[in-house]
Chain A
Amino acid sequence: MSAQLAVFFLLAALAVAGAVSLIFARHPIRSALSLIVVMVALAGLYLLLGAEFVAAVQIIVYAGAIMVLFVFVIMLLNAGEEERTNFSRLAKTAGLPLAVALGAFLAAAAAKYAPSSGTGTAAASTKTLSTMLFRDFVFPFELTSFLILIAILGALVLAQREG
């Protein structure tokens, strides 16, 4: 087993453990911390795939800003442990096996993928990535800046409505 494969399995196990902890934790703050662990593990996987800039952006923006927003909201709302309600027996008996079946089906379909020979060998440096972003994808780029502006305005409007 090469070193790359060992690192991959380590990070994959960390990500899956974080995801399982996310969906089974009682308290929302534990879920938030588990999601941060998942994101850091995924950033490690991006580094393994050679996407260094995307890994750094994942940690700086996703794990370092968006998740901070989640943690703030949990702290502000003083979210406590989730209450247990017995909603539906069908959901409990048939739900989990069906979910496992869905995941297994997706995984089996993904495992059969064999990539065709690569049509390009672009080195994933920041320079090439930014050239592509500002040359081929400049229109979506400007649109996303517009989207962020709309989100800011939306958040401001929502914060002003005090009932």
Chain B
Amino acid sequence: MTALFLVGLIKAVVLLLILLTVLAYLSLFERKVIAHIQTRWGPYRVGPHGLLQPLADGLKFLFKEDPTPAAADRFVYFLAPFLALTLALTSVAVIPFGPATIRILGVETRLGVADLNIGLLIIFSVTALGVYGIALAGWSSNSKYSLLGGLRSSAQMISYELALTLSVVGVLLMAGSFSLRDIVNAQSGRTAWGFLPAWTIVAAPFPQIIGFFCYFVAAVAETNRAPFDLPEAESELVAGFHTEYASFKFAMFFMAEYANMITVSCLATIMFFGGWTSPFPATPLWGWTLFLPTVCFAAFGAYLVWDGLRYETALGKTILPALGLALIALGILFAAVPGVNGVVQGPFWFLLKVFAFLFVYVWTRATFPRFRYDQLMSVGWKVLLPMSIVNVVLTSAAILRWSPK
């Protein structure tokens, strides 16, 4: 009993540490990608290729002055960023990373902190509660801009929440369960239309293309990201609901937004793109794809070594080749030790797909102009909501016609 509790605690702590590191480096990733899309370099001074930039940003946030507005409601003012960050980090707990089981403290556990019957509903509950972080932040700052930004932001979030939850119903109908592991298992072990992997977005009886489109647009709006970020953009409404927040509290909102992005990307891969299943069939002809993690890690490591040896600063010349050699060693470890390759397959494909979604997120931010607020609300209510309802109706009709159970 206590062993189970300890194992859960260890998994949660490890996941939290990894998540916080990924959040920090996601900000660097975003800045570099947006910069390269705009034909400039992004951060490259602080550490080789700007790799120590998140550390510098973190130190800045810790040491900056932290003023509190005069007439702000202190308890709610301090509560709002904590609420936003805590809820954003909680929803990662129900996400499954792979089908394999590993052994911690003598207990066989699956990869993923918890697997609940209603895992998907838990994520939606946490998203629904996340509106409070923003609404209370806007209200407690006791400033016109914050209040307006907070009201607009939270109204946008609750409007797109409807389209978000309805667009997922098609997936639930085809998988038959709320549990995220069951949803991924329903997409593995067979092929769709003979040659494609059985992912929900292409699977019989009704490929969830409309559903995926509605889900992704609603998710971008729900996480207050461009092109739906009018309430918090820098050139509008000062800075929206986090105008009056400085240093660490602003960093908490910032991290909460990235954590929401990661959650939404994880959900999109699990529900529409097969989660941890590989795009290649599991036949012996494709057995070589089992070594793709090794090949990717080793290739990337070799590139880092080559790039590091040509780098200008001495720090770069030492850190980058060291990182590269570590990655090559990791790749060889996957191939050499037999058990490890089996465990690594699931998380490798899962993280690759999540990474692709995060790239699409940053890409849309750099590419599209912002929606005006009334256009934003009208898209949410008049376009996305009817489209998701139509998707539900069509999916149900297709299931009744072609694969009734």
A and B touch in their complex, CB below 8 angstroms = yes
User: Is B28 engaged at the interface, CB distance under 8 Å to the other chain?
Assistant: no
Nearest residue (CB) in B for A53 is: B118
Are B121 and A56 interface neighbours, CB within 8 A? yes
User: Is B356 engaged at the interface, CB distance under 8 Å to the other chain?
Assistant: no
Taking A29-B139, A72-B135 as contacts, is the C-beta distance between A63 and B129 under 8 angstroms? Answer: yes
Are B117 and A52 interface neighbours, CB within 8 A? yes
Are A52 and B118 interface neighbours, CB within 8 A? yes
CB of B86, distance to nearest CB on chain A (Å): 12
User: Is A71 engaged at the interface, CB distance under 8 Å to the other chain?
Assistant: yes
Interface range, A side: 20 to 34
CA distance A59 to B124 in the complex (A): 9
Are A29 and B128 interface neighbours, CB within 8 A? no
Are A56 and B122 interface neighbours, CB within 8 A? yes
Main secondary structure of the interface of A (DSSP, over half): helix
User: Is A95 engaged at the interface, CB distance under 8 Å to the other chain?
Assistant: no
Interface range, B side: 20 to 34
User: Is B178 engaged at the interface, CB distance under 8 Å to the other chain?
Assistant: yes
Nearest residue (CB) in B for A76 is: B151
A50-81 to B contact mask, C-beta < 8 Å, 1/0: 00110010011001110010011001100000
Taking A60-B121, A60-B125, A68-B132 as contacts, is the C-beta distance between A29 and B76 under 8 angstroms? Answer: yes
Nearest residue (CB) in A for B139 is: A75
**A72 cross-chain contacts in B, Cβ below 8 A:** 135, 151, 154-155
CB of B239, distance to nearest CB on chain A (Å): 18
Are B73 and A29 interface neighbours, CB within 8 A? yes
User: Is A33 engaged at the interface, CB distance under 8 Å to the other chain?
Assistant: yes
**A43 cross-chain contacts in B, Cβ below 8 A:** 125
Are A65 and B121 interface neighbours, CB within 8 A? no
Are A63 and B136 interface neighbours, CB within 8 A? no
Of the listed residues A30, A43, A75, the one surrounded by the most CB atoms of chain B closer than 10 A to its CB is: A75
Taking A68-B158, A71-B136 as contacts, is the C-beta distance between A56 and B118 under 8 angstroms? Answer: yes
B113-136 to A contact mask, C-beta < 8 Å, 1/0: 000111001101100110110011
User: Is B392 engaged at the interface, CB distance under 8 Å to the other chain?
Assistant: no
User: Is B147 engaged at the interface, CB distance under 8 Å to the other chain?
Assistant: yes
Nearest residue (CB) in A for B75 is: A30
10 smallest A-B Cβ distances: which pairs?
A64-B128, A56-B121, A59-B125, A60-B128, A75-B139, A52-B118, A60-B125, A56-B118, A68-B131, A71-B135
**CB-defined A-B contacts under 8 Å, sample of 7:** A30-B75, A56-B125, A60-B128, A71-B132, A72-B154, A75-B139, A126-B118
